[in-house]
Amino acid sequence: MTKVKSTVSGLSRPDFSAVKKENKNYKRLFRDAMYYVHYEMSPADLKKETEKWLKVTNKEKLTYVSACEDFRFSVVGKYCFLINHKTEIEDSLYSRINEMIDELVEIGKKITLEKEEKKVEKEVAPIISIQERMKMQTDGVTGIFDSWIDEFISNPGKFSLEGKDPLTEIKTANLKANHNKFILDFIEKDSQLLKEFLEGTECEQLNEAYSRYKKSDLKKLFALFEKIKDACQFQKESSKVTKKPRAKKPISKEKLISKLKFMKEHAEYSIVSESPENILGAKEVWVFNTKTRKLGRYLALDITGISVKGTSLLNFSDTSIEKTLRKPKEQLKEFKNLSKAKMSKYLDEIKSTDIKLNGRLSEHHIILKTIR
């Protein structure tokens, strides 16, 4: 049979009828068939396959099973698909299929009863919680892990970990660290019981349950459980590294300057402050202290410009200085009429001591000029 390449997953459609137990490559062929069904068939398709199988094997259960939601067929539907397409499966799987069908029957009875009681004329879509949705997303992967466990049960002596890579399955299904809980819940109970048995237990029931297996075979099964746990742990640690840091919300200009102190105007010197918002990102900021009569020039340290934190200016050069004006009224009037070129040399022409600015503004400071 010619294999057809899928346009969805890229997998080739296998010849399902060729998967026979007597074939020496049976396990590989069965796994390939399971992979194809997992990636190509939707939950709705898998429900139809289950219904198709029941029409032949057990029509009495069909009505209640059909009442169940599509997402509940993600595991049993795969097995029914393979059986419907002439694939041979292990005898042990049939009992598992029947168990899952019985579970669906009980769920279907409950759904049917609720519909009858409420006399619902129009079908209402089920509300699926986030946890239920995450479990649904995980069911496909746990279904594959379940098939590995069934493989062990079918032939413990020939069971091998070769080709079983839980991490690849988790990544292929695009599961995240939050899905790990459902994977671990799936194996936790069996893993813990098996660990107790291998370490030696006085529990008669546990000893009896595992008595038909060799300890060497059980150690291989336990190694599979540990491999699945390690994959979940790796996924968890990897997500911490790749997780993008939460972007900080930029602080508004209003908040940045909210604590900045300054004088709005000074009538005697006929000067008025610029808006303090103009300081943010400015290359130069000229200020005048009306109490000390000092004229100061802040120069930005780099191209990002001067910034504000609390009551102080930040990111200014240590060449930023102030000088005392001897005749402030006249000198400030002169300053207001200066061009940018002459303004840069203005402080040099004032004959008084240079004092380094510390960035702090007070209620006595007028913001004379900002240059961007």
pLDDT digits (tens, 9 = 90+) for 335-353: 888 888 888 888 888 888 8
Supply the pLDDT for residue 209: 82
The answer to whether the pTM exceeds 0.85 is no
Tens digits of residue pLDDT in 157-209:
888 888 889 888 888 888 888 888 888 888 888 889 888 888 888 888 888 88
CA torsion 208-214-216-218 (nearest 10°) is: -50
DSSP annotation string for 242-262: HSPPPPPPPPPHHHHTTT---
pLDDT score of 100: 93
pLDDT of residue 8: 46
Asked if residue 277 has pLDDT above 50, the reply is: yes
Question: For residues 184 and 181, what is the distance between their CA atoms, to the nearest angstrom?
Answer: 5
Instruction: Give the confidence band of 303 by pLDDT, cuts at 50, 70, 90.
Output: very high
271 pLDDT exceeds 70?
A: yes
Average pLDDT over residues 223-237: 88
Q: How do the domains of the chain map onto residue ranges?
A: 1-126, 127-242, 253-371
The per-residue b/e assignment along 23-55, b for 16 or more CB within 10 angstroms, e otherwise, is eeeebebbbbbbbbbbeebebeebbbbbeebbe
pLDDT of residue 242: 61
Tell me the per-residue pLDDT of 128-142, one tens digit each, with 9 for 90 and over.
Answer: 788 888 888 888 888
How large is the average pLDDT for residues 296-307?
92
CB 154, CB 90: distance < 8 Å: yes
Contact (Cβ atoms closer than 8 angstroms) between residue 318 and residue 356: yes
pLDDT at 338: 87
**CA–CA gap between residue 322 and residue 289 (Å, rounded):** 10
Residue 2 has a pLDDT of 43
Q: Give the mean model confidence (pLDDT) for residues 297-314.
A: 92
- Residue predicted with more confidence, 2 or 223: 223
Pick from 256, 271, 188: which is nearest to 222 by CA?
Answer: 188
Q: What percent of the chain has pLDDT over 70?
A: 94
pLDDT value, residue 210: 84
Query: How many helices, marked H, and strands, marked E, lie in the chain?
Result: 14, 9
| Average pLDDT of the chain, as a whole number | 87
Q: What is the pLDDT of residues 141-156, one digit of tens each?
A: 888 988 898 888 888 8
Query: Can you give the pLDDT at residue 177?
Result: 81
Q: Per the structure block, which two tokens stand in for 333?
A: 């009037």
Type of residue at 244: K
What pLDDT does residue 273 have? 93
d(CA 283, CA 233): 51
Mean pLDDT, rounded, for 96-101:
93
**What's the average model confidence in pLDDT over 65-80?**
93
Give pLDDT tens digits for 313-331.
999 999 999 999 999 899 8
Residue 1 has pLDDT above 80, yes or no: no
